[in-house]
Amino acid sequence: MGFEGIGASVRRKEDVRFLSGKGNYTDDIDRPGQLYAYIKRADRPHAKIGGIDTAAASAAPGVVRVFTGADMAAENIGGIPCGWQLHNQDGSPMAEPPHPALAVGKVRHVGDPVAVVIAATKQQAKDAAELLAIDYTDLPAVANLKDAVAAGAAEVHDGVAGNICYDWAIGDKAVVDGVFAGAKHVVKLDLVNNRLIPNAMEPRVAIGDYDTSSGDFTLYTTSQNPHVIRLLMGAFVLHIPENKLRVVAPDVGGGFGSKIYHYAEEAIVTWAAGKVRRPVKWTAERSESFMSDAHGRDHVSTAEMALDAEGHFLGLRIVTLANMGAYLSTFAPAVPTYLYATLLAGVYKTPVIYCNVKAVFTNTVPVDAYRGAGRPEATYLLERLIDVIAHDTGLDKIELRRKNFIPADAFPYQTPVALEYDSGDYQTTLKVGLKNAGWDGFEARRTEARSRGKLRGIGISTYVEACGIAPSAVVGSLGARAGLYEVAEIRVHPTGSVTVFTGTHSHGQGHETTLAQLVVSQLGVPFDQVEVVHGDTAKIPFGMGTYGSRSLAVGGSAMVKAMDKVIAKGKKIAAHLMEAAVEDIEFKDNVFTVAGTDKSKTLTDISLAAYVPHNYPIEELEPGLDETAFYDPKNFTFPGGCHIAEVEIDPETGVVEMVNFTAVDDVGRVINPMIVEGQVQGGVAQGIGQALMENCNYDQSGQLLSGSFMDYTMPRANDIPNMSVATENTMCTHNPLGSKGCGEVGAIGSPPAVINAVVDALKDYGVRHLDMPATGAKLWSIIQAATPRMAAE
């Protein structure tokens, strides 16, 4: 056993059970007497429900009950709530139309839940669902942003005019317009951030359980934040007090944001379990995941930069349409505003910025945060725009970035869009990135590729993001309906081993390892004597869960605070046992020492005394050694860095091959370098997926064309090159660890680097911009269209 504290690449202890098939996922849980739910979903994008005849389904073999939206409405079951309220420019609140768990009156997207059949087997439930007679009258649908905001467009919700959920803005438009009027250059770019389907490896599952003796409900669910689900579902939907509702999220096989939200199926099975007085289990089929998990991205934007003659950014003006889908998912309104528009300064000292965001309802699956959430959209827009500025003005793309960077000595730096960055050094991450990528030697590689008939290109992105969410008061002022602190309980057992209860949730990130390393370093307890527990409201004091790269920066900081309390109490016990003054007790490497003496007690001596208080300051101190801390961060954290992609395009087919990828990120204090590298690799793989292949495709009528893996292209291992991943870290200045977060940086920094490389590879074809994904078919069309023109020139 070597060093296993902060900074050690300790192997992930949870991987033993994951890789040997011993994980305990929600679908592995079966409750005695369990029934199975099958959810009948809309097969059409928009329709009026005249009535639902459930008689035949109810009489089918094995069926226990059939419920529709009318049944839930009759019991005053609430709609699925939205966790964030935005306001329009005129100060009025956003449109927040009802979102019933089971459709009432209308269906609004393919996949909208209409009825639930509960039967003895899954097969029987599914068979019976085919017997439901639903009287639909189809309505005109809007399947994309452009159609939804067109004059005379069909309305997704009655009374939401023009399908506008909100019309929001940040910045002073008159001031920004004035800057543009006097600018030497104005460069404009229209761009689309393509819609994605998250596709976690594990589909969603929910099991509702009702204890007929106690009246307690338990929900087992694939969630990134069980306490949030308990709060939302208990308080707003089912009206179950928290003392009667337990939410368990055991091992979860990937989330990427899509398992943050409170979904209808969770409420349906919990409510139904109470009605039928037996456990009810629902497991999503993969095709249900495609049409019911919240989708990601889906922005259409126009961006304009005003510049002086030397290429200094003078002002940025942006108009964005953001797709909300048919209903507001939990975080949806915040994504294109407080997680997007506030990041539009990027790593640049652009003095004035104006951004108008219109959030739009469409007859599609709800859209919410997906790995990066808003920040990839902001980064993609900025980093594409800068390359287009270089294209249009002839200025060097690296120089352009360098001269506009916020300098390392300017921190803390107040941006014009609300955020105050605490630390960063963008020149350094750029410098190391260029070196690691061999930027200066690229032209030789381009020439060599040309000799093989390939078009080679290189692209860069320099980015910053805001994570470690978030100061509760700040997000509260921005419309959040919850606080975003984190909670940790450190339980030192009588014999000195430790259990950590964290309100964060691991769904692949490796918390059981990383968080244990914090205990190794701070308390000196051996790694194998530390257990991390998460994902159960009955065990964890409270918590807001894992998203926005917050687990370490916020949850880890809560642990530090709780361990500080353990040490403080331990010192008092040690002082008593060694007959010394508390002020004279020092703690280091698991040992309490009386300063300047050889008198010492180990943490085990102290914990034993705490739980067996025979010789103990019982008048002043409670027994036990178990401390809890709530930590509310003072600011967001601001990871940043430089990503460089190198691609080769086969001009005969248009197919892109990723040949090199270099990431140099600033993630603050690194606890486990191996896990950080893995997180960056995974994020970059998703970024490459978005840039080159992934695309959620609805046809004009609102049918989902990319509704399976036959048509939705996921990146595979051989699509991802060997990556050079490095960090150049500056410390977060406001949390006790100095950590910033690494979960999303890969997906934030990489897409524009890839597209910039593709555009660079096609520079001889007169390409200024192309929208993601850069598929072979798309690039071939571009090459085809340009070839006759090139021949003519």
Partner 1 sequence: MYDFAYQKPGSLADAVKVLSGDPDAKALAGGQTFIPVLKQRLNKPSTVVDLSKLGLSGITVSGDKIVIGAMTRHAEIASNADIKAKIPGLAHQASLIGDEAVRHRGTMGGSLANNDPAACYPSALLALGGTVKTDRRTIAADDFFQGMFTTALEQGEIITSVELPVPQKSAYEKFRNPASRYAIVGVFVAKFASGVRLAITGAGQGGVFRHTAMEKALSANFSPDAIGGIVTSSDDLNSDIHASSEYRAHLIGVISKRAVAKAA
Tell me which stretch binds partner 1 (CB under 8 A): 148-156, 297-305, 673-681, 707-715: 707-715
Complex with partner 1: residue 499 or 703, whichever CB lies closer: 703
Fill in the per-residue mask, 112 to 141: x = in contact with partner 1 (CB under 8 A), - = not in contact: -----------x---x--------------
Residue 2: exposure state from Cβ atoms within 10 A (0-12, 13-18, ≥19): exposed
Pick from 1, 74, 201, 710: which binds partner 1 (CB under 8 A)? 710
Which 732-761 residues touch partner 1, going by CB under 8 A? Answer: none
Contact, 666 vs 640, CB < 8 A? yes
Complex with partner 1: residue 733 or 775, whichever CB lies closer: 775
Complex with partner 1: residue 89 or 784, whichever CB lies closer: 784
Least distance in angstroms from the C-beta of 688 to partner 1? 13
Identify any residues that bridge with 499 across adjacent strands, giving them in sequence order: 491, 531
Least distance in angstroms from the C-beta of 562 to partner 1? 47
The Cα angle at residue 743 between residues 741 and 745, in degrees rounded to 5:
85
Instruction: Please report whether residue 776 would count as binding partner 1 according to CB under 8 A.
Output: yes
Count of residues engaged in binding partner 1, rule: CB under 8 A = 21
Q: What is the 3-state secondary structure (H, E, C) of 5-53?
A: CCCCCCCCCCHHHHHCCCCCEHHHCCCCCCEEEEEEECCCCCEEEEEEE
Complex with partner 1: residue 406 or 767, whichever CB lies closer: 767
What does the block give as tokens for 449? 């590729």
Instruction: Please report whether residue 780 would count as binding partner 1 according to CB under 8 A.
Output: yes
Fill in the DSSP letter of residue 342. Answer: G
Least distance in angstroms from the C-beta of 220 to partner 1? 25
Complex with partner 1: residue 633 or 707, whichever CB lies closer: 707
**Residue 404 CA, distance from chain mean position:** 29
Instruction: Please report whether residue 775 would count as binding partner 1 according to CB under 8 A.
Output: yes
Which 635-654 residues touch partner 1, going by CB under 8 A? Answer: 652-653
Pick from 271, 348, 354, 712: which binds partner 1 (CB under 8 A)? 712
3-class SS at 670?
coil
Instruction: Please report whether residue 709 would count as binding partner 1 according to CB under 8 A.
Output: yes
Beta pairing, strands 313-325 & 352-361: parallel
Task: Give the integer Cα–Cα distance in Å for 261 and 264.
Answer: 10
Complex with partner 1: residue 191 or 704, whichever CB lies closer: 704
Q: Is the peptide bond before 623 cis (omega within 30 degrees of 0)?
A: no
Instruction: Please report whether residue 55 would count as binding partner 1 according to CB under 8 A.
Output: no
What does the block give as tokens for 241? 């007090």
Tell me which stretch binds partner 1 (CB under 8 A): 275-283, 355-363, 424-432, 710-718: 710-718
Task: Give the integer Cα–Cα distance in Å for 788 and 121.
Answer: 62
C-beta atoms surrounding 294 within 10 Å: 24
Least distance in angstroms from the C-beta of 489 to partner 1? 44
Which 509-568 residues touch partner 1, going by CB under 8 A? Answer: none
Residue 87: exposure state from Cβ atoms within 10 A (0-12, 13-18, ≥19): middle
Task: Give the integer Cα–Cα distance in Å for 771 and 631.
Answer: 41
Pick from 190, 448, 711, 764: which binds partner 1 (CB under 8 A)? 711
Fill in the per-residue mask, 274 to 313: x = in contact with partner 1 (CB under 8 A), - = not in contact: -------------x--------------------------
Instruction: Please report whether residue 600 would count as binding partner 1 according to CB under 8 A.
Output: no
Instruction: Please report whether residue 724 would count as binding partner 1 according to CB under 8 A.
Output: no
Tell me which stretch binds partner 1 (CB under 8 A): 250-258, 389-397, 402-410, 706-714: 706-714
Task: Give the integer Cα–Cα distance in Å for 358 and 163.
Answer: 10
Fill in the per-residue mask, 77 to 116: x = in contact with partner 1 (CB under 8 A), - = not in contact: ----------------------------------------
Where helices occur in 111-220 by DSSP H, the ranges are 122-129, 145-149, 173-181
**Residue 628 CA, distance from chain mean position:** 26
What does the block give as tokens for 16? 């033993």
Pick from 705, 785, 789, 790: which binds partner 1 (CB under 8 A)? 705
Complex with partner 1: residue 248 or 693, whichever CB lies closer: 693
Tell me which stretch binds partner 1 (CB under 8 A): 32-40, 138-146, 619-627, 769-777: 769-777
Task: Give the integer Cα–Cα distance in Å for 390 and 406.
Answer: 19
3-class SS at 727?
strand
200-228 burial, b at 16+ Cβ within 10 Å, e below that, comes to: bebbbbbbbbbeeeeeebbbbbbbbbbbb
Which 659-698 residues touch partner 1, going by CB under 8 A? Answer: 693, 697
Pick from 150, 444, 582, 777: which binds partner 1 (CB under 8 A)? 777
Least distance in angstroms from the C-beta of 353 to partner 1? 36
Contact, 317 vs 176, CB < 8 A? yes
Instruction: Please report whether residue 785 would count as binding partner 1 according to CB under 8 A.
Output: no
Q: From residue 732, how far is each of 411, 613, 635 by CA, in Å?
A: 11, 41, 10
C-beta atoms surrounding 67 within 10 Å: 20
What does the block give as tokens for 341? 């528009």
Pick from 703, 706, 724, 733: which binds partner 1 (CB under 8 A)? 706
Least distance in angstroms from the C-beta of 128 to partner 1? 13
Tell me which stretch binds partner 1 (CB under 8 A): 359-367, 400-408, 607-615, 771-779: 771-779
Instruction: Please report whether residue 713 would count as binding partner 1 according to CB under 8 A.
Output: yes
Least distance in angstroms from the C-beta of 712 to partner 1? 6
- Residues making contact with partner 1 (CB under 8 A): 123, 127, 287, 652-653, 693, 697, 705-706, 709-714, 775-777, 780-781, 784
